[in-house]
Amino acid sequence: MPITDPNKARAARLEQLRAAMVRHGIDAFIVPSSDPHLSEYLPGRWKGREWMSAFTGSVGTFIATKDFAGVWTDGRYWTQAEQELAGSDISLMKIPSGASLQHIDWLAANMASGENVAVDARVLGLAVARQLADALSSHGVKLRTDIDLLDEVWEDRPALPQDPLFEHSEPYATMPRAAKLAETRAAMDKLGADRHFISTLDDIAYLFNLRGSDVSFNPVFVAHALVEPEHATLFVADGKVSPELRERLLEDNVRVARYEDAAAALAALPAGSTLLVDPRRITSGMRAAVANDVRVVEAVNPTTYAKSRKSEAEVRHVRATMEQDGAALCEFFAWLESVLADPQRAPLTEVAIDEHITAARARRPGFVSPSFATIAGFNSNGAIMHYRAQPASCAVIEGDGLLLIDSGGQYVGGTTDITRVVPVGTPSAAQKRDFTLVLKGLIALSSARFPRGTRSPMLDAIARAPIWAAGIDYGHGTGHGVGYFLNVHEGPQSISPSTPPDPHTAMEPGMITSIEPGIYRPGHWGIRIENLVCNRVEQSTEFGEYLGFETLTLCPIDTRCIDLSLLRGDEAAWLNGYHETVRARLNSHVSGAARDWLEQRTRAI
């Protein structure tokens, strides 16, 4: 009979894992939040850290020894992890950011010379593998990467996803597949490479103008790719490419091979060839498959740059998508306010927010799916940065407070991501103060001008400055890149203090990025306001080109939460101008209650 108690099931899995560790002479086993493609969001087969620990956050590392088990994760997930790990013997190990490698330092400090640490090389990033090997070897600890103990203990482990691929076609795919391959080969040539291996799923989807549904919320598919001088090979599971699609790929000299054959193809590269790989986007297992007589060049995947710099045609599609998304939000918020104003209404829960906002988007042309799991947090739940309401435990929205809603959609013409906070009942003076400080941060960065090529992490302090001035901070980055009908999180740009300001993070025209400052008071409320913006050339002077942000998101910011005494005249003018644009762009897409709501919420302050 299966174990139904969650904590007992978790304890049983840990016991099975430790028994397997003893059988193989392993003293510590690492389960990263990763797959063979180093994805942020994982197909079920590689959710091993979640299966072992029941911690569902998107970032974290699980480590088990004979007498210890822990999950390392950053401040965005501490409250969530404390709740999900409660009642278990698994410790929460708090780290400063998702990029932290403190678990490596912990292993080096706690493992004895001669002991063995194991991790599956097929899901271990090359750059992390090198740091791990160096840290352990300096302490006499051995690293094994040739074994995956999850295969022994995870009896009902999910198989590879089987859903078919589909083409992202014209007019939304604005550059043909052959042209993208030619552009990639030109970038390879500049780096002195005649072959290029790609594992990251959004890079592959972009390059081949293909999409899939193998990963929740992200329209990508599990695959590897090898680009060679005359042809390219797409390694995917059998049955995922229809005969018709296979023929169209062949027209562009793209072959289809079995997913399992990718490592063998790397091993068979001709002696003397030069292979380009991105050390941050390839696993150590795949890198180890390359023969010693193949020269390896390490650099950022050319597709990472190419897909981040949206063309003018793509930006036009995104603008149109934002109008549809904004209209859906008008319908949703009009419904929400009518429900909240009805004294005879049935209880409204956070789960219902997700259902209704998704339904509103689903009625819009071009909608495919949500772009991530909706975050709808009322009062104290809003302070949990990656909160996910569950039917059995979600809050009822009643009384006075703030409701934070972070949501987004995947459309064939773009990807959206927006956060708004609305008042329920009467917001307090303290809540209004926090809301206004966050708004000031959003306005400050949205209004910024900066030299082209500015490294994106350097912009983070602009949004934080008004919040810092009040002695407050927030524990996440201010902005992330957003894909074009692709992942809602993409690089290379990242407006975050935890991101090193490396050259590849430079801001370039066409990049779409979020701006999302916040304030979180655990146990009380959370506030975040988020828009997506696009880098545009604003002016050229003798000092070079200067970029600014075009705000793409179209949805009112609730003025009922603003403390007007804290807003400067130029900030009020920015908000009024934004609302005027929102009203003008959305008016023709809505009617009835949604149009009335739009008119009311975009009135000048």
Q: Are 162 and 237 in contact (CB under 8 A)?
A: yes
What CATH number does residue 221 fall under? Answer: 3.40.350.10
In a domain, 454, yes or no: yes
Residues 418, 171: Cα–Cα separation, whole Å: 25
Domain coverage including residue 238: 166-306
In a domain, 160, yes or no: no
Q: Are 35 and 46 in contact (CB under 8 A)?
A: yes
In a domain, 258, yes or no: yes
What pLDDT was estimated at residue 259?
Answer: 96
In a domain, 1, yes or no: no
- Shared domain for 499 and 572, answered yes or no, is yes
- Shared domain for 318 and 241, answered yes or no, is no
Residues 333, 555: Cα–Cα separation, whole Å: 10
Residue with tokens 């022994």: 152
- Shared domain for 329 and 429, answered yes or no, is yes
In a domain, 251, yes or no: yes
Q: Which of 153, 174, 191 is the last residue of a domain?
A: 153
- Shared domain for 563 and 516, answered yes or no, is yes
- Shared domain for 108 and 215, answered yes or no, is no
- Shared domain for 123 and 172, answered yes or no, is no
In a domain, 158, yes or no: no
- Shared domain for 132 and 239, answered yes or no, is no
- Shared domain for 350 and 262, answered yes or no, is no
| Structure confidence by residue, pLDDT tens digits, 289-315 | 999 999 999 999 999 999 999 999 999
- Shared domain for 93 and 199, answered yes or no, is no
Q: Which of 306, 331, 356 is the last residue of a domain?
A: 306
- Shared domain for 492 and 515, answered yes or no, is yes
Q: Which of 153, 186, 214 is the last residue of a domain?
A: 153
Q: What letter would DSSP give residue 64?
A: E
What pLDDT was estimated at residue 98?
Answer: 59
Regions of the chain with pLDDT less than 50: 1-2
What pLDDT was estimated at residue 1?
Answer: 40
- The C-alpha R_g of the chain, in whole angstroms, comes to 25
Spatial neighbors of 98 by CB under 8 A, at least 6 apart, are 59, 73, 74, 76, 498
In a domain, 400, yes or no: yes
What pLDDT was estimated at residue 391?
Answer: 80
Token pair recorded at residue 418: 């927006």
Token pair recorded at residue 524: 């009380």
In a domain, 515, yes or no: yes
Residues 418, 406: Cα–Cα separation, whole Å: 6
What CATH number does residue 511 fall under? Answer: 3.90.230.10
Closest CA to 494 of 99, 203, 201: 99
| Structure confidence by residue, pLDDT tens digits, 137-169 | 999 999 999 999 999 999 999 999 999 999 999
395, HSE (Cβ side, Cα atoms, 13 Å) = 20
- Shared domain for 216 and 358, answered yes or no, is no
- The count of structural domains within the chain is 3
Q: Are 457 and 500 in contact (CB under 8 A)?
A: yes
- Shared domain for 333 and 379, answered yes or no, is yes
Residues 167, 169: Cα–Cα separation, whole Å: 6
Q: What letter would DSSP give residue 550?
A: E
